[in-house]
Structure 1
Amino acid sequence: MSQDIDCSCEARFVGRQDELRDLQSSWSTKKMFGIFGMRSVGTSRLAKEFLASVSESLDKVIYIDLEATSDITTMFTNMCARLGIPTGSHSGEPIFWENKMFEELTTNKTKYVFFFDNAEHFLDLESQTRDLIQNLFINLLSLDNVHVILTSTTKFQLASMWRIYHICEVRPLNLSESAELIMSEAKGVDFAEYIDPLVELSEGLPLLILMIASELRDSSGMLTPKDMVEFLATARLKVLSPESYPKTDGVGNVYHTFIERLAFVLKEKYTILNFIPGSFNAEEARSMLDAPTQATVKHQVLVPKINRHFLNYDPAQQRFNIQGILRECLTTFYVIRNLPEFAVEQPNLQKLLAEIHHTTQDTYAFFIQMATECTSFIEKYMAGNSEDFYGECKRAASRYCKETDVALVNVAIGIIFTNVKGDLREGLRIYRDALKVLEGTGKSKALATVYQRIGYNLMMQDYYVTALSYLKKSYCISSSSGKDFQALVLQSLNSMGITLVWLSRFEQSEKILLKSLETTKKAHGPFHPGVGVVLNNLGLMYHQKGDAEMAIKYFQEGLRIKKQTKTKHQSLIASLTNVAIQYPNLNKPNRSRAIAERSTYYNLQRECKRLWHNLVCQ
């Protein structure tokens, strides 16, 4: 074989047995072999191994790396040089060199293989270049002594030659093959139970596997497989694009360059499709891209991306997906532009439950974010299924050795048990499991959150003194930590204020609730549901204190704000009820006022019943 394609210095060849066997069995009946797959999946290496296996039946390999070839003329002169044709100061026209080359090929009986590597660098160019390449292949295949091998990320069709054209699609390595490759390239490393998550995080892509093995092998034991799993789960692109490597070898740069080869319109649509979490069907892609029909989006977007190996397609399920490392590049390097307005509000969250059972690295971060930041959405739209969802999130976090993420999910589960199921004891147990982890991570938003949740839970169980201590801890962290903690500041102040009411420490309660009112107005303005909540809490404080006049003043003001801001029904019902029950406590100086108050009381009761009915029927 030509020294140009010597692979003795490359990594061990693993897997691809089925593909290699099919290629070998087709050697005697086919003349052209197209080997296609996504960037760095191993198409070139498979082609080299294939050539080595059939080397006894050929005389000479003409290897042309089209990634390193600037234009058609250069390609032809390179081929002529490898054929031994002098390439001095002759005409620079491609047709001149093509004729010279075919003169040489037809005058001898040498058995040639023309190996065009990285052909996407020409196949993705304008139609004139593609036509020249296609005509070259057709002319070469007309010669009895020539075979052609082509590797490319862009699938190349040659309809007129289909009977002698073998197409091989190269997929990522399977789990056992990936494990074999990483262990062979990092000998002496004790992978223990971390081999499976490392394999999953490599996605079966040889480039990622070799980078992971290199980092483990060359760290002199400083970097363990457990460390690597943790780093890859949080910053895979950065870890696999170290500064010590040439820029062209870093995973981030390789796949960024791969995406950059797309035309602007396809690149923009690709970025929008990345907004869909997990796999999707043609209708979901049509909806996201705001295309007129499914046929349009298939023809203009999905098929071109499949042919360029930017999308995976499962024909049995008729679903598409973006390879995980490509998702990370899209998220890291590209901004969504011209996104249809509806897509901002509807990012296919209906698919959430189905997809969580198939969580991989590319969707892991999305699901953890959903689990920890969207509990209200989950409570509303996933009632009855939240435990299953959170359980899968915890299993995924454990798989990637993300102990902190497990704790964050536990906080969300605790909220479900406390606020939805009403199982306060179980909610408290889950919160405390989270606290054991989070207390060891230093002051953080997560720690302030779990303190606040535990305090609220204990308050609901009438453990007021203990509740107050946790709420104070949350407030101490939140009040000195910037705007991101503002919501926690308000929650802690409100809960502390109510807890102090039940401890009959009314002066302290009033001071804290008034501070909460001032802070809420400053943060959200005077007309906000949160303002209505604090006013209602002040009413409760005065009610417990025995001051009915002040109580109803705050209750009514809170009710007015809540109605104006269209707050949630549950919150509105609470204010309606508080106003209604306060009327019998008022002094009644005359009969007409008593009648008016009684009428208001019954009207409030009817409004409460109507809201409850609407709430139950939703």
Structure 2
Amino acid sequence: MAEHLRSCQFVGRLHDFQTLDKYWSGNRLFGIYGIRAVGKSRFVEEYLKTKECGVTNVDLVGTQQTNSAYTILCAALHIEPSNDADDGQIWIAPLLEHLNDCSEEKPTVIVFDNAEDIIEGPTKDSFMSMISEVVKNCEKVKIFITSTTRVLFTQLGKVYTSQKLEPLSQADTEELLKFAAPNVDFGPYRNVIIELSEGLPLLILMIGSELTAVSRQISVREMVNLLLNCRLEALSHVQYSDEYRVGFVYKNFIKRLADIYQEHLSTLDYIPGSFNAMEAEGMLEVGSVALTKHNALRPILSRHVLNYDSNVQRFNIQGILREIIKSEFVVKNLPEVRRRYCKTFTAVMKEICRIMGTSEYTKAMSEFAMEQPNLCKLMKEVNHTKEDTYHFFIEVASSCTELIEVYMANDGQQFYNSCLSLAEQYGRQEDKAIVYMAVGSMETLTKVRYSTLYQKLGWNIFKQGECEEAIKLYKKSFDISNKYTDDISNILTLQTMGYIGVVYVVLGNFDEAEKYHFPTLRMCEEKHGKIHPKTGNAYNRIGLLFDQRGNALKGLEYFQEGLEIKRKAKAPPISIVYSLSNVANSLKVLDRFDEAHAVVDEAFEILERQDIYMLDGYSLMFNTRGKIYARQGKWTEASTAFNKTVEITRLVEQSSYIYMKRLVNLAEMLEKCHRFKSCLEVASEAIALKSETTKALPHNFIAIECYQCMARVHNFLGHTADYVNALLEIDKECLRLEKVCTAQYNEMELERIDQIREELDEQFNELKM
């Protein structure tokens, strides 16, 4: 850990790190508290860099309501919040499910930063209840809470620890001062400055920046006098707390800035959250973004009044300094600053809404999580707007309905009411019409949510193998969304039609599947155009229809057309990889092996170009390559590929149908290679997953395939008892599947069961001979 601190130039706190490290393995909830500017957020950030875990940061500055905290958390996790966020029993379940899913690959840490407002707010109990539910139900999730207030979780004492972050020790203060001012000769004043800095990292860094500024205007002795005068001024305000009185010291440092920088700072403070350089340029209007960085932001940044997060390229004003700026510095020309704010963040909000419906959805949610306090303030600015600026809010009302309804519902109704009042006041009929349409869209969205709910229920039921019930739910979703003509409803209608077609393909009802897949393709082309990822997906599904029907050549045509569309539309890499897998599988069936391997090579090249190691993509393509080799009769090469598939899949899907299927593929290839011991070991690992995969997908045949493999090996080795047991297990599975497939009216699979039983009869007859 000490090596990490030196490598990132994080000075001090080694003892605090060691204290926290004692509790890391056994605890899952950590409260880090202390006075402002003591470095709580940075302390947690640097500590987590020493751990192998995924980190989700949720900045709660200014947040007082639990449902707002929940919404910000959902945005940071890239999931849609529940519409019933006031009812903890309803909305907590999907959140817990998502956290458990995303923590399967590696442990997850959620950091609720600057949580003092909500801890001291009216919904403290519900916030703590949400935290408790996550801790109780998500074993691989750890939570950090930073705040100025200590928070207690009495019922979670065994897994909760709180740690107060004190000001730096004298030794750590001296080390940080050396880092901040490495070439300054402090002479006899070193210990005095160390004492007067009070162990506050921010103050120490500001002292260092003043003493090392290029245009240095203060000596070490003058710095001592400045700090002494600040302390005297602070001590004279006995009615204030110790923490607040430190603010008088910071005020004098801010006043040492040039007037223009003080003015920039008070203008930027109008932004409640973090901001990027483009947003700063919109507020300051000093020229280009480059000039804003060079002439406005860097001079303030070098004095540690701003901080900068290089990971997301955003600036922020130090929390305690905001209070000083608000109370001691006046925003010049406030109406103009408000106009700039509305203009700047209207553009930000519209851009987030624009990309929400694209393949950049994850980026949109990440940006919203960072911009949330800024956008909430924008919606409240409607109460201060005048005729020359209210058009910004009409733009938001017309363009951002979905974002407001889903992620900003608390402020939505009041916002639209204010927009209507402004439209009435300024007498613009077209604006009133826009707002009324937006309100109507919100009502439509509420109805559409029921459509989405039925769609999600249908998917869950389908995954459990209850295809007929899934179709009923999908059709309910279709009936709701098909009543409306707005874009959201049209998208839902298209999605649902595609899902219904997929279920009919699984049921072997290909004629019925055609009735949905081909209209879906036509509607996709009409709505999105010929070149669009969703159009490519529609072609891909028709390819699967023909492939399952046994027409591999026709399936290949549609797979290739879908792949070409995805390439031209620049679909997400993983989507292209999935299409390449389908093309390769069709080429395999047609015995066009060289072409199939070339397609797999292309998929691997795409995966290797990605910054993130796509485990699902690699496992899929090794599996595809294994199936090609198996078709060729190259058993050794196939077993090698399947083994790689299993190794990767084991990391992410240890109890799934997919994992069991890939284990069986490997077992069958080991059988072909006469590696019987290894084959039986892998088959035994696979069959141990039978109950879970049967529950998730009742109509699957993978257990039968696994028992058939084991039966062949036991028969070859002369293990008669084990051979008979395997045959009996196959017979039991046939009985189970017959009931499932009869209930699903799945004629194709019932024919397959009859074939398996004929083989069983022959095998039992041979035993009697």
TM-score, scaled to structure 1:
0.43
> Higher helix share goes to which structure?
2
